[in-house]
């Protein structure tokens, strides 16, 4: 029997993390779980670490260490706390694959550590590539670390590229559902609440990415993520709204031929593809029934109603640390929107201000990315507190 893949799941208690554990539980012969991490949810972390016989569990918030340690008592799982422990443990010789499924910029340091250690990265944490794509991709080249996409669109592109046999791609068609406000008028979207934005039509995901999907910031992030992963210019990545979420993205060749990847919207498919690559073991996902589906529809995104998408193209064009500032402002804005402190269109307003005011760094390294992130977060919080959003 081939050797088991030894895996670390960072953000194991989240939507992606839990679905990854579901995949692993169905293929116990293929995987050995070595490391699981969470931020706050010590109980779930301990439960999963014991159930999957993990070597170690890390709770990033040190205040939750006692809860983790007592929940793990009597087991063989080692308990750790704090991000530096994650950074150290992902480098271990006992790990082959690191699934990065924590949310936001918190993924930057552990992803950097795993890349430096030459691990295979199953990348869900897109914010790391949005904020520091140039830095991460060059680091991965230097340390021979393979990055396998988990995001459904990028997994789709990756799956299509396997059929490209070295031919040049002229365009990526990046599909998106359009989110819960696709058919709403602008003045109604302006009054949208967090509860309304959290009702995604096709996908059940963590709160932050669900809000990012409602603003189309997520699609903007994915455009940047695709440009780094596949070496495509942003102008050659076209977003197309496809409300049925059946085609997960497409690649176009110079002769006009287009390849698409399709599947029912179930994140376990791209997660499993990344973890098992290049194998395709069975998955108990709903299979497509084209006769029942009847039709698929497509439309252009509305950049007036969803300015975050236009801001992402602008950030990609400006380069440097601008998309790092965009990401940081978005993190603060989304948290404030979820807390009911700001309105829907305050999110793009805050991002735009952050992009216009950040001091430009052309080729940011890790220190500059961390500084841009911290400074932009602080300034954006100040703007919200002072009521100087517009």
Footprint of ligand NDP on 33-92 (CB under 6 A): 38-41, 60
Between 149 and 320, CB nearer to ligand NDP? 149
Between 110 and 353, CB nearer to ligand NDP? 110
Give the residue at shortest CB distance from Mg ion. Answer: 151
Q: Which stretch binds Mg ion (CB under 5 A): 143-151, 156-164, 322-330, 382-390?
A: 143-151
77 and 56 Cβ atoms separated by less than 8 Å: yes
155 and 270 Cβ atoms separated by less than 8 Å: yes
CB of 174: closest distance to Mg ion in angstroms? 9
Between CA 225 and CA 258 the distance in angstroms is: 21
Is 16 a binding residue for ligand NDP by CB under 6 A? The answer is: yes
Footprint of ligand NDP on 184-203 (CB under 6 A): 203
Q: Contact with ligand NDP (CB under 6 A): which of 5, 7, 8, 13?
A: 13
Strand 247-253 versus strand 258-262 pairing type = antiparallel
Sign, CA torsion 85/86/88/89: positive
Of these partners, ligand NDP, Mg ion, none, which one is at the site of residue 322 (CB under 5 to 8 Å by kind)?
none
Is 225 a binding residue for Mg ion by CB under 5 A? The answer is: no
Of these partners, Mg ion, ligand NDP, none, which one is at the site of residue 16 (CB under 5 to 8 Å by kind)?
ligand NDP
Phi first, then psi: what are they for 304, rounded to 5°?
-75, -45
Diameter over CA atoms, the chain: 63
Is 102 a binding residue for ligand NDP by CB under 6 A? The answer is: yes
Q: Which stretch binds ligand NDP (CB under 6 A): 49-57, 100-108, 156-164, 233-241?
A: 100-108
CB of 151: closest distance to ligand NDP in angstroms? 4
Between 220 and 364, CB nearer to Mg ion? 220
Phi first, then psi: what are they for 29, rounded to 5°?
-70, -15
Footprint of ligand NDP on 304-363 (CB under 6 A): none
- For the stretch 11-34, what's the b/e string if a residue is b when 16 or more beta carbons lie within 10 angstroms of its beta carbon? bbbbbbbebbbebbebbeebbbbb
Between CA 45 and CA 227 the distance in angstroms is: 34
Q: Contact with ligand NDP (CB under 6 A): which of 7, 8, 15, 131?
A: 15
Cα Rg of the chain (Å, integer): 20
Q: Which stretch binds ligand NDP (CB under 6 A): 125-133, 170-178, 249-257, 337-345?
A: 125-133
Q: How many residues does the chain have?
A: 390
CB of 89: closest distance to ligand NDP in angstroms? 13
Is 212 a binding residue for Mg ion by CB under 5 A? The answer is: no
C-alpha closest to that of 305 among 223, 183, 219, 198 = 183
Is 205 a binding residue for ligand NDP by CB under 6 A? The answer is: yes
Interacting residue ranges for ligand NDP, rule: CB under 6 A:
11-17, 38-41, 60, 101-103, 106, 124-127, 151, 203, 205-206, 208-209, 267
């Amino acid at each position: 029997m081939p050797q088991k893949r030894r895996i670390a799941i960072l953000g194991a208690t989240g939507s992606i993390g839990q679905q990854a554990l579901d995949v692993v539980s169905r293929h116990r012969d293929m995987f050995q779980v070595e490391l699981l991490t969470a931020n706050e949810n010590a109980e779930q972390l301990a439960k999963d670490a014991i159930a999957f016989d993990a070597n170690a569990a890390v709770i990033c918030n040190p205040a939750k260490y006692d809860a983790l340690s007592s929940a793990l008592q009597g087991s063989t799982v080692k308990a750790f706390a704090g991000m530096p422990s994650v950074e150290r443990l992902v480098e271990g010789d006992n790990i082959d694959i690191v699934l990065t499924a924590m949310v936001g910029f918190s993924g930057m340091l552990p992803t950097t550590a795993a890349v430096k250690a030459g691990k295979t990265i199953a990348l869900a944490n897109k914010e790391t590539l949005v904020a520091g794509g140039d830095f991460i991709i060059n680091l991965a080249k230097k340390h021979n670390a393979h990055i396998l996409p988990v995001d459904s669109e990028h997994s789709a592109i990756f799956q299509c590229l396997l059929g490209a046999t070295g031919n040049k791609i002229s365009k990526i068609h990046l599909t998106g559902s359009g989110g819960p406000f696709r058919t709403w008028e602008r003045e109604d979207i302006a009054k949208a609440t967090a509860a309304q934005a959290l009702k995604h039509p096709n996908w059940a995901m963590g709160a932050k990415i669900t809000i990012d999907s409602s603003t189309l910031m997520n699609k903007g992030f994915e455009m940047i993520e695709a440009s780094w992963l596949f070496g495509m210019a942003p102008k050659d990545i076209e977003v197309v709204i496809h409300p049925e979420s059946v085609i997960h993205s497409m690649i176009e060749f110079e002769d006009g031929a287009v390849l698409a990847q399709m599947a029912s919207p179930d994140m376990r498919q791209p997660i499993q593809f990344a973890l098992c690559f290049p194998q395709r073991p069975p998955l108990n996902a709903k299979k497509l029934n084209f006769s029942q589906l009847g039709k698929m529809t497509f439309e252009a995104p509305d950049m007036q109603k969803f300015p975050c998408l236009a801001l992402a193209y602008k950030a990609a064009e400006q380069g440097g640390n601008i998309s790092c500032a965009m990401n940081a402002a978005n993190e603060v804005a989304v948290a404030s929107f979820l807390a009911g402190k700001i309105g829907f269109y305050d999110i793009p307003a805050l991002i735009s201000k952050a992009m216009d005011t950040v001091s430009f760094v052309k080729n940011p390294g890790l220190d500059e990315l961390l500084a841009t992130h911290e400074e932009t977060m602080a300034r954006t919080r100040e703007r919200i507190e002072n009521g100087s959003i517009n």
